[in-house]
Amino acid sequence: MSQPDTLVAQTRLTLERIARDFSPAVFASSLAAEDMVLTDLILKARLPIGIFSLETGRLHPETLAMLDQVKERYSYEIALYRPQPEAVDAYVAAHGLNGFYDSVELRRECCRIRKVEPLSRALFGNKAWVTGQRRAQSSTRSSLLVEEDDPAHFMTKFNPLADWSEQDIWDYIRANNVPYNELHDQGYPSIGCAPCTRAIQPGEDVRAGRWWWENPESKECGLHLVDGKLIRIKSVAA
């Protein structure tokens, strides 16, 4: 078995174990390349792992178009979780629509309203959640584990693609004709909200286009943070 085949087989086993031993479980999809790989693996195997996405209200049209592509390709409708309108209105009234450019604190508050709070609702009642995070994505994810304890949400968190490289992701997408966000062909290896994401230059880190005006150490939205620290408190991996 080649290295890519081994990775795929290991990931399938991880997903099967999640479905078997951690039900109910959900997969938080950003609709980016990594998440489309997991979507393909979950839905082709008909695993009982729900898939949801955080519709922040600031996503690219190309990202939103992926929802229809998933529905057409897999006959599956991804559940959407949106921010509380009153919280968005209060933030905009106090700081302006794009106040997140003014400081890391204001940017994280915007992420909290548009992503972190909806995530809590999406995860509620589940035993585990699955992400598309990979170690190779950034310095903040270099110690990522496949299986972790998530004390913030009182559940287990899985990163089945932790060992995958960028090349592994695209090899799988091409080999399996997996639909993907067309922004990836326009220099966007990592895609978040439209005003917080730009295309990168050759040689830049794959997440250099995310919150490009900040230092690399601050480039997390809070979905994987507790009190400013990455949620990797305790490994529960075998």
Is domain 3-218 annotated with CATH 3.40.50.620? yes
Question: Minimal CA–CA distance to 37: which of 4, 64, 65?
Answer: 4
Catalytic residues: 221
Q: Which residues are annotated as a binding site?
A: 110-111, 193, 196
Read off the tokens for 173.
């997408």
Q: Which residues are annotated as a binding site for [4Fe-4S] cluster?
A: 110-111, 193, 196
Regarding pTM above 0.75, the answer is yes
pLDDT tens, per residue, the chain with 238 residues: 566 789 999 999 999 999 999 999 999 999 999 999 999 999 999 999 999 999 999 999 999 999 999 999 999 999 999 999 999 999 999 999 999 999 999 999 999 999 999 999 999 999 999 999 998 765 545 568 999 999 989 999 999 999 999 999 999 999 999 999 999 999 998 899 999 999 998 888 877 888 888 876 655 555 544 444 433 323 333 2
Domain boundaries, the chain: 3-218
Reported as a single tens digit per residue, the pLDDT across 78-93 is: 999 999 999 999 999 9
Percent of all residues in the chain with a pLDDT value above 90, rounded to a whole number: 75
